[in-house]
A = this chain, B = another copy of it.
Amino acid sequence: MRLILDVMGGDKAPLEILKGVLFALPECDAKFTLVGDPGEMSRTAKEIGLNLEQFEVIGASSVITMEDDPIQSFKHKKDSSMMVGLQRLADGQGDAFVSAGNTGALFTGATFMVKRMPGIKRAAIGTVISAEKPFLLLDAGANISVTPKYLEQFALMGSAYMKTMYQITEPAVGLLNNGAEDCKGTALQIETNTLLQACTAIRYVGNVEGNEAMFGACDVLVADGFTGNIFLKTAEGSFRFLMKTLKCEYRKNPINKFSALLFRKSLEGMKRAFDPSEYGGSPILGISKPVVKAHGSSDAKAIKNAILQAIKYAESGVAEEIARAAQGGER
């Protein structure tokens, strides 16, 4: 098992990325290929006491920034740490790839260089959301324009992912919609709902509203990338806003401060439970090899979790499960 890592992608690269490697080392026995600017990598590694000689180190002369256009980056930054890493994955010189860089560029590069699995019409970005029970939102923002058939494939891929990675025998799949009835939604949701009802390869539980998803309605929440992104950002914003309000209230007076002190452990637990970095990164499902997007603001812990997730993704047979589902296998 060889993991390829984009050391230059992300807001806190390369420091937190290499620290993430340091944290991941004792918890896995994978080999690492580190891709990035050789000078910066060796300076940073020295700083944190990481011996680079134990890894395969591949130089890359540029970096794709968060502001770069995805298509342009893919076309004209072939020498970037992200594209060099993806090319090695495509060439079979590694088994999984992790990057905290530009999401659009990673999605485009993965699609055109590593390529989609046979039969898969669109790859999609999955994100595990921690609520009453963890569930996979798919697509979280990559495909703005989709068809019911694409969404059906997202359902199959999401189901395969949760089955394999979370050991859920028959994951409940729901369609994000504005009501439970079959008539709800735009033409896209109405047609997709009909298609999913007829799909024997998954356990479809029907339309799911935004609030129900938080209370365990499904293990896989299927959406087009636009609606999925609205859902994801709104949930993140709501959690963050409530935690901020709580923090402000706790600071208001000495009694509240004392109360917070007593409640400290629970608060830390809650913060951890809602922290996306605890869940690793976002898998790009439908690509022929595992590609995992870590959050742009990832710290070392988030990178470590994304690395461990990518290794598990590569070793657990998610790809085979998806391929089987895409070929029309029964559940």
> Knowing A176-B230, A230-B227 touch, does A237 contact B266 (C-beta < 8 A)?
no
The residues in A between 206 and 246 inclusive whose CB is less than 8 angstroms from any CB of B are 209-215, 225-227, 229-243, 245-246
Among B230, B236, B269, contact of A231 (Cβ-Cβ < 8 Å): B230
Residue-wise interface mask of A (233-277) relative to B, using a CB-CB cutoff of 8 A (1 in contact, 0 not): 111111111110110011010011011101100100110011000
A94 within 8 A of B: no
Instruction: State in angstroms the CA–CA spacing of A252 and B243 once bound together.
Output: 19
B-chain residues with CB within 8 Å of residue A249 when the two chains form the complex: 263, 266, 269-270
Q: Tell me which of A226, A231, A241, A255 has the highest count of chain B C-beta atoms within 10 A of its own C-beta.
A: A241
A131 on the interface (CB 8 Å rule)?
Answer: yes
Does A48 sit at the interface, judged by CB under 8 A? Answer: no
Take A237-B211, A237-B212 as given contacts and tell me if A141 and B263 are in contact as well, using a CB distance cutoff of 8 Å.
no
- Which residue of B is nearest A141, CB measured? B178
With a CB–CB cut-off of 8 A, which chain B residues contact A185? 144, 226
User: Closest CB-CB distance, A92 to chain B, in whole Å?
Assistant: 35
Q: A144-B178, A178-B229 are in contact. Are A236 and B259 (CB under 8 A)?
A: no
**B residues near A230, Cβ cutoff 8 Å:** 176, 178, 210, 227, 230-231, 234
Is A215 a contact partner of B241 (Cβ separation < 8 A)? Answer: yes
Cβ–Cβ < 8 Å partners of A327 in chain B: none
The copy count of this chain in the complex is 2
Interface residues of A in 188-214 (CB under 8 A from B): 189, 209-214
Tell me the minimal C-beta distance from A191 to chain B in angstroms: 14
Q: Given A226-B178, A227-B227, A262-B255, does the pair A246, B234 have CB atoms closer than 8 Å?
A: no
Instruction: Name A246's contact: one of B231, B256, B270 (CB within 8 Å).
Output: B270
By the criterion of a CB under 8 Å from any partner CB, how many residues of chain A are at the interface?
53
Closest to A264 in B: B259
Cβ B262 vs Cβ A233 within 8 A: no
**Are A178 and B233 in touch, CB under 8 angstroms?**
yes
**Which residues 125-174 in A have Cβ within 8 Å of B in the complex?**
131-132, 141, 144-145
Q: Which residue of B lies closest to A228 (CB)?
A: B178
In the complex, which of the residues A185, A235, A240, A260 has the most CB atoms of chain B within 10 Å of its own CB atom? A235
Complex: chain B residue closest to A252, CB-CB: B266
Closest to A183 in B: B69
A179, A212, A230, A274: most-surrounded residue (chain B CB, <10 A):
A230
> If the complex has contacts A225-B178, A234-B235, are A240 and B262 also in contact, measured as CB distance less than 8 A?
no
Asked if A54 CB lies within 8 Å of chain B CBs, one says no
Q: In the assembled complex, which residues on chain B have CB atoms less than 8 Å from the CB atom of A132? A: 241
A174 to chain B, nearest CB (A): 13
Contacts of A131 in B (CB 8 A): 241
A51 at the interface (CB under 8 A from B): no
A121 to nearest B CB, angstroms?
19
Question: Are A270's CB and B245's CB within 8 A?
Answer: yes
Query: Does A186 interact with chain B (Cβ within 8 Å)?
Result: yes
User: Given A178-B226, A259-B259, does the pair A186, B145 have CB atoms closer than 8 Å?
Assistant: yes
The 4 closest A-B pairs by CB, nearest first: A211-B237, A210-B233, A210-B234, A238-B238
